[in-house]
A and B are shown apart, each in its own frame.
Chain A
Amino acid sequence: EAQVTQNPRYLITVTGKKLTVTCSQNMNHEYMSWYRQDPGLGLRQIYYSMNVEVTDKGDVPEGYKVSRKEKRNFPLILESPSPNQTSLYFCASSPSGVGTGELFFGEGSRLTVL
């Protein structure tokens, strides 16, 4: 089954404790992206990647890192989480540049930073 898989789905952590949210897609998509969803703000892009070893900042990259060592994986790293990073995070992939292609979303990872 074609899918985007995120882990963990739910996580509660404390300020400053490094964490990684994994994202994997099995559709051989070149494009991958991370969004955060906050009430009243909709979805905002954090980082995206056009292909392996190619990443770039989205609209709200502060406090996050990403890597794209393999085509299928695009982990989101929070080196020192803070409470304002409490949010619902979505990973998405697309077969082409997102302007032309459909985005396929994971089910989301709800992160709470205390």
Chain B
Amino acid sequence: AQSVTQPDIHITVSEGASLELRCNYSYGATPYLFWYVQSPGQGLQLLLKYFSGDTLVQGIKGFEAEFKRSQSSFNLRKPSVHWSDAAEYFCAVGAARGGADGLTFGKGTHLIIQP
């Protein structure tokens, strides 16, 4: 069965500093990987996704993520965070066969931005 681990429950970063959120997955075949963001009181919004090809993917809001098969990781990065980036971030893995299986989500990382 597929699974996702986000090791950090909370992360605090100063505004303007760089950010890296960790995500490790477990999946027997080629995974489809996603990062979603949930702002307070809102639903989840897709930041970026990896299906195949270039292992460095660019997303919205200046985020990027790198797929590392050898480490089973898909870490999210941003070079300079803004106060509006404070939110909950979820990594998710889906079945590469494109079936009906739901995405498996990590438990989330709560990002706090210090002024």
Q: How many residues on B have C-beta within 8 angstroms of the other chain's C-beta atoms?
A: 26
- Segment at the interface with B among A42-50, A63-71, A74-82: A42-50
**B49 to A56, Cβ gap below 8 A?**
no
A99–B97 CB distance below 8 A: yes
A102 in contact (CB, < 8 A): yes
Q: Give the number of residue pairs across the A-B interface with Cβ within 8 Å.
A: 68
| Residues of chain A within 8 A of B32, CB atoms compared | 99-100
How long is the Cα–Cα vector from A42 to B107 in the complex, in angstroms? 4
Give the distance to chain B from A52, nearest Cβ to Cβ, in Å. Answer: 14
In the complex, how many residues of chain A place their beta carbon closer than 8 angstroms to a beta carbon of chain B? 29
The residues of A that contact B49 with a CB separation of less than 8 Å are 102
Is A103 a contact of B103 with CB atoms below 8 Å?
Answer: yes
- Nearest 9 A/B pairs, CB to CB: A105-B43, A45-B102, A100-B98, A42-B107, A99-B95, A99-B94, A43-B105, A99-B98, A97-B98
